[in-house]
Structure 1
Amino acid sequence: MRNLPPWLKTLCSLWAAAAAAVHLYWGGFGFPEPITTRAFHLLVFVPLIFILYPAFPDRSPSTRPSVPDLLWALAAAIPHAWAMWNHDAVNDRMEFVDPFTPELLALGLLAIVTLLEAIRRAVEPGLAWMVLGCIAYMVAGPWMPGVLESRAFSLNEIVESAWLVPTLGGVYGPLTGIAATTIAVFILFGAFMQGSGTGRLFANLGAALAGRFSGGPAKVAVITSGLFGTMSGSSVSNVITTGAMTIPLMIRIGYAPAVAGGIEAAASVGGALMPPVLGAAAFVMAEITNIPYGEIVVAAAIGAVMYYYAILAAVHFEARRLGMRPMPQADIPPWREVAADAHLVLPIGLLVWLMMQRWSGNYAAFCATLAMVAVSMLRRRTRMSPRAILDSLTNAGLTMAPLAVSIAGAGIVVSALTVTGLVVAFGGIVKDLAGGSLPMLLLLLAATVLVLGMGIPTTPSYIIAAAIGVPQLLQMGVELLPAHLFIFYFAVIADATPPVAAAAFAAAAIARAGPTLTSWHATRFGIAGFTVGAAFIYDPGIMLRGSLAGILSAAAIQLAALTLVTAAYAGFLLAPLGRWLRLLLGLAGLVAAFGHMLPDAGRLAIGAGALAAVALGQRAVARRAAA
């Protein structure tokens, strides 16, 4: 992002704040009809990208927009301003029936080209190339081999489907509608959480809870990152926010830089799995599946706890093996310092309650945002001044802009996949490769999502993978919500897995470590993302479904499996583990986690039995040595 001169920075900040304020107002008092909402959303955010982000970081002006940037911004505004002004005409059009005039063609091309450039600058070049590739496929479809062949599309059909078919997808499709409504208001809630001092509360709480134990800074990083994830819209921003404090502390007490970066990356990525917010993709899931958001939050709760349990267990075992000390007492805040900000959890509780009562997500977030401002006034140290409120609106607007263009780009991909039948073709290929085997299908889909995650942010990666994979899972008899949660989990952890892992690379930059090695460490610390993702398919108890015995059994299996696996790769349980014992514990943990062909009682017996046997053996050895 550019370092703009004060006058232009102020102007852009006011623009972003005003745009965010409009979204907040709509969240509480009702949105206009869809095309107006979606066009306004892109009108205020796409041109802003060209002012804030240089075309080429090493060659473009870093302190001001160039003349081409201003022309890009103007060009980006024109099609969305036209759609907003002519919303009745857009709504009254019969898609693919009414003539697509030269004027519409020119506007559509302008919208698509400027969106591609905005994605390239502010999000990921890989996503821009994917969008362009899907458009190119609509041209080249007749010459593609086998199941990839599709009918020929005219230029008018390509542009219309990518731009002006709000019911199908494209720039103004349902995905942009979700971004402009529910996601936008939740981003505002997160920004006001940060502005009110809730971040300080989370940091102090993490230090007070975990700082006194072995490897304290690493445990603080895990807890703080998980809490920050409830209000952060990005795993990368989560790494930057908390990692600047926690990574140096971890290195100082003895963690290798790459390990410290991996712990922070795994913990930050998991923030998107943590209720009550779960990240932007979860709102898309609620819209796609028509499942109430509150139900999704409940289903994801145990999985999120397991994810962070695994990281904490791994950190603990590693710290014990290395003989690390707790945080210095001077760095641990007293509980009265935590209590001084404790009132800030009330708006979060209000949000959870409203969601559980099945209020709409945007209205629940609107009420929680106003409550955050009101609650902050209860104490001087948290009181939000007019400047703090304005800064929160600005930060929300600046967060919305890249997300707006990435989701609109994903809408074009989904539209192209749908009209060409490529969703069916890809689904058929995956289905044929799986050969009717559900485990093989899950493995292929997981690999697909992880590959997509190399160059695409979590939300569009989830959207595209869900379009391809969920129908195949449904045909295999998997229920709708578990199928989407499976895809969602792998889309989230893709930010931490090699070879390209945005969150891990950001952590590596702070730790001054190799990005590839850091991403490998992030993958091992985030192992629960793989086991819990599979558990959504095979163990309904992990989603709080079924009998109490089934829920407890599913949770116990995960606990035992994750404890075994994390102890195995850390090389420590109650005492150091030898090579062969590590291998046996790791195998037992993997069987307990993935041996779904076995009865639950058998998996639990393997996991708990191996854990108990090694723990009791190490304790007996320690007693003999002490005697």
Structure 2
Amino acid sequence: MRQLAGPLKWVCWGWAAAAAAVHLYFGGTGFPEPIQMRGFHLLVFTPLLFLLYPASKTRSPKHRPSVLDWVWAVASGLPHAWVMWNWMAVADRMEYVDPFTPTMMALGIIAIVTLLEAIRRAVEPGLAIMVAVSLAYMQFGWLVPGMLNARPFSPQEIVEASWLVPTAGGVYGPLTGIVATIIAVFILFGSFMQGSGTGRLFSNFGTAVAGRYSGGPAKVAVVTSGLFGTMSGSSVSNVITTGSMTIPLMMRVGYRPAVAGGIESAASVGGALMPPVMGAAAFVMAEITNIPYGNILVAAAAGAVLYYFAILAAVHFEAKKLGLEPVPAKEIPAWREVLADAHLVIPIGVLVWLMTERWSGNFAAFCATLSMVAVAFLRRRTRMTPMQVLDSLASAGLTMAPLAVTIAGAGIVVSALTATGMVVAFGGIIKELAGGDLAMLLLLLALTVLVLGMGIPTTPSYIIAAAIGVPQVLELGSYLNVDMLQAHMFVFYFAVLADTTPPVAAAAFAAAAIARASPLMTALHSSRFAIAGFAVGFAFIYDPGIMMRGGLVQIIGSIGIMAGALVLFTSAYAGFLLAPMGVLLRLALGAMGLAVAFLHVIPDGGRFALAFLSLGVVAAWQMAAARTARRIQGEKA
């Protein structure tokens, strides 16, 4: 992003703040007609990206937009302004039946081209390439032989499907509607949480809880990143926010740079899994499945806790193995310092309560945002000044802008996949490769999502993979009574984990930059610490108790089984339980972990017993060996 100077800096800052304030107002009072709201959303955010992000990192001006940037900005706003002005005609027209006029064709081409350029600059070139390839497939798919063959599309059909079919997909489709309404207000809530000092509360709480133990800085990173994730749901921003503090601290007490970056990356990625704000993809899931967001929060809660439990176990074993020290006592805040900000959890409680009472997500976030300002006013140290309120609005606006074009681009891809029948074709390919086996289908789908995540952000990766794979999971999983939410949670987890898996891992690369370590090594360590997510993802299908389903015994049993499997995994790859372990013992514990997590032919009681019996035997053996060693040492003395 450019570092603008002079009056233009304040113009863009005010622009972002005003756009965010309008979204907040609509969140509490009601939104305009869908096509109006979607047009307004893209109108206020797309031009801003051309002023803030240079076309080239080396050749473009660093502190001001060029003349060409202004041309791009103006051009990008024209199609959305036209849609807002003619919203009634757009809403009333019959798609693919009413004439698609030359004016519509010209504006549609401008909308698509400027959207591609905005995505390339502000989001990820890989996503821009994917959108372009999907459009090219609509044009030339009829030339592709076999299962991927598509019917011919005229240029008018391609532009209309990608731009002006708001009921199905494309630029103004339902996905853009979700971002412009629910997600925008939740982003505002997260921004006000940070502006009020809630970040300080989370940081102090994490240090006070975990800092006194071996390898304390790593545990602080895990706890703090999980709490910060409830504000942003963005793994990269989570890394940047918390990693600037935790990564140097971990390195100072003895963690290698790549390991410190991997721990922070894995912990930050989990923020998108942690209720009550799980990132944009979770809200998209609620819209796609018509499942209330509150139900998704309940289904995700245990899995998110298990994810962080596994990372804490992993860093504990790693710290014990390396003999690392806790955080210095003088750097651990007193509990009175933590409690001085404790009132800031009230708005989070307001949000959760309203969501569980089935209020709409946007109204719940609107009320929670206002309550954050009011509650922060209760104490001088958290009181927000008018400038801080405006800064929180601007920060939210600057976060919404790249997301707006990201989701619009994903809408074009979904539109192309649907119109060409690619969803059915690609789903059929995966199903054929799986050979009718659910486990193989899930593995192939997980790999597909991870590959998609190499080049595109979490939300479009989830959207595309869900469109391709969820129907196949529901069909092959019918004998297990797999339902819509289970299938979508599976895809969602792997879309999130793509940010931490090599060779392209956005969160790990951001952590590597802070640690000044190898990006690839940081990503490898990040995957190692995030291994819990892979096991939990499959548990959504095979162990529905993880989603708080069934009786109390089933829920506790499923969580206990997975917790045992995760301790087996983490101790095996750390090479430490109560004492260092040799290669053969590590392999044995790792194999036991795989059996407990995935060998569902064993009854749940058997898997539970296998996990804790394995851990108990190894722990008892290591304690006996330690006592023998101390006795021998005493005899020698």
**CA–CA distance in structure 1, aligned partners of residues 208 and 274 of structure 2:** 20
1:523 to 527, 546, 551: 527
CA distance in 2, matches of 1:475, 1:572: 42
State the alpha-carbon separation in 2 of the partners of residues 548 and 157 from structure 1. 54
Deviation per CA, 1:307-328: give whole Å up to 9, x if none. 0000000000000000011100
User: What CA deviation, in whole Å up to 9, does each residue of 1:24-70 have, x standing for no partner?
Assistant: 00000000010000000000000000000000111100100000000
- Aligned-partner residue type, residue 540 of structure 2: F
Q: Which residue of 2 aligns with 1:349?
A: 349
Q: Is the 8 A contact 2:232 2:277 kept in 1?
A: no
What are the within-5 Å matches in structure 2 for residues 306-345 of structure 1?
306-345=306-345
Counterpart amino acid of 1:285? M
- Tell me how far apart the structure 1 counterparts of residues 471 and 288 of structure 2 sit (CA, whole Å): 12
Corresponding residue number in structure 2 for 1:227: 227
> Which residue is equivalent to 2:486?
482
**Partner residue, 2:634:** none
Q: Counterpart in 1 of 2:551?
A: 547
* Uncovered stretches (5+) of structure 2, i.e. residues with no partner: 632-637
Aligned-partner residue type, residue 194 of structure 1: Q
Letter in 1 for 2:395: N
- Deviation per CA, 1:239-282: give whole Å up to 9, x if none: 01100010011011111100000000000000000011111100
- In the alignment, is the contact (CA less than 8 A) between 1:178 and 1:284 conserved in 2? yes
Which residue pairs with 1:573 in the alignment? 577
Contact 2:190 2:232 in 1 (8 A): yes
Looking at structure 2, the residues matched to 261 and 121 of structure 1 have their Cα atoms a distance apart, in angstroms, of 26
1:86 matched residue in structure 2: 86
Residue 563 (str. 1) matches residue 573 (str. 2) = no
Of residues 3-12 and 313-322 in structure 1, the stretch that sits farther from structure 2 once superposed is 3-12
What residue is the counterpart of 1:201 in the other structure? 201
| Separation (CA, whole Å) in 2 of partners of 1:597 and 1:148 | 37
- Counterpart CA distance in 1 for 2:119 and 2:233 is 17
CA shift, 1:605, in A, is 2.1
| 1:128-159 superposed Cα distances (whole Å, 9 cap, x missing partner) | 00000000000111111101001100000000
Q: Would the aligned equivalents of 1:263 and 1:521 in 2 still touch at CA under 8 Å?
A: yes
Structure-to-structure mapping, 1:169-188, within 5 angstroms: 169-188=169-188
8 Å CA contact 1:505, 1:519 repeated in 2: yes
User: What pairs up with 1:339-418 in 2 under 5 angstroms?
Assistant: 339-418=339-418
Number of positions where the alignment pairs a residue of Structure 1 with one of Structure 2: 627
1:5 aligns with 5
CA drift at 1:176: 0.1
Looking at structure 1, the residues matched to 8 and 198 of structure 2 have their Cα atoms a distance apart, in angstroms, of: 30
- Alignment partner of 1:609 is 2:613: yes
Residue type of the alignment partner of 1:170 = G
Name the structure 1 match of 2:29.
29
Which structure 2 residues correspond to residues 61-460 of structure 1 after superposition, within 5 A? 61-460=61-460
1:498-509 to structure 2, matched below 5 A, reads 498-509=502-513
**Mean Cα deviation higher: 268-277 or 2-11:** 2-11
Amino acid corresponding to residue 239 of structure 2 in structure 1? V
Provide TM-score, normalisation by structure 1: 0.99
Three-state SS of the structure 1 residue aligned to 2:231 is coil
Q: For residues 597 and 426 of structure 1, what CA distance do their matches in structure 2 show?
A: 30
Return the alpha-carbon distance in structure 2 between the equivalents of residues 532 and 234 of structure 1.
Answer: 20
Task: Judge conservation of contact 1:233–1:399 (CA < 8 Å) in 2.
Answer: no
Cα RMSD (Å): 0.7
Correspondence for 1:594 = 598
CA distance in 1, matches of 2:223, 2:565: 21
* Residue identity in the other structure for 1:3: Q
C-alpha distance in 2 between matches for 1:153 and 1:362: 38
- 1:54 maps to which residue? 54
Rounded Cα–Cα distance in structure 2 between residues aligned with 1:47 and 1:333: 44
Distance 2:457 2:251 in 1: 29
Amino acid corresponding to residue 384 of structure 2 in structure 1: M
Q: Say which is worse superposed, 78-87 or 598-607, in terms of deviation.
A: 598-607
2:2 and 2:64 in contact (8 A); partners too: yes
The alpha carbon displacement at 1:233 in A equals: 4.1
* Moved beyond 2 Å, runs of 4+: 623-627
SS at match of 2:95: coil
Counterpart residue identity of residue 234, structure 1: S
Give the whole-Å Cα distance in 2 for the aligned partners of 1:285 and 1:615: 42
The two structures have a TM-score, normalised by structure 2, of 0.98
1:532 corresponding residue in structure 2: 536
Per the alignment, in what secondary structure is the counterpart of residue 231 of structure 1?
Answer: helix
Pick from 585, 604, 607 the counterpart of residue 589 of structure 2: 585
Whether the aligned pair in 1 keeps the contact of 2:233 and 2:277 (CA below 8 Å) is no
Q: Does 1:626 align with 2:630?
A: yes
State the 1:625 CA deviation.
2.5
| Worse-superposed segment, 44-53 or 224-233 | 224-233
Q: Provide the rounded CA distance (Å) in 1 between the counterparts of 2:473 and 2:23.
A: 36
Partners in 1 of 2:501 and 2:600 — Cα distance? 24
Give a deviation string over 1:342-370, Cα, whole Å, max 9, x none: 00000001100111111100000000000
Amino acid paired to 2:238: N
Contact 1:230 1:278 in 2 (8 A): yes
Q: Note if contact 1:43-1:81 (Cα within 8 Å) is conserved in structure 2.
A: yes
| Kept after mapping to 1: 8 A contact 2:233/2:271 | no
Separation in structure 2 between the aligned mates of residue 149 and residue 420 of structure 1, nearest angstrom? 8
- Indicate the residue corresponding to 1:470 in structure 2: 470
Contact kept in structure 2, 1:2 and 1:63, CA below 8 Å: yes
Q: For residues 115 and 261 of structure 1, what CA distance do their matches in structure 2 show?
A: 33
CA contact (8 A) 1:225 1:267 kept: yes
Task: Find the residue that maps to 1:57 and give its secondary structure.
Answer: coil
Q: Secondary structure at the match of 2:97?
A: coil
Instruction: List alignment gaps of at least 5 residues for structure 1.
Output: none
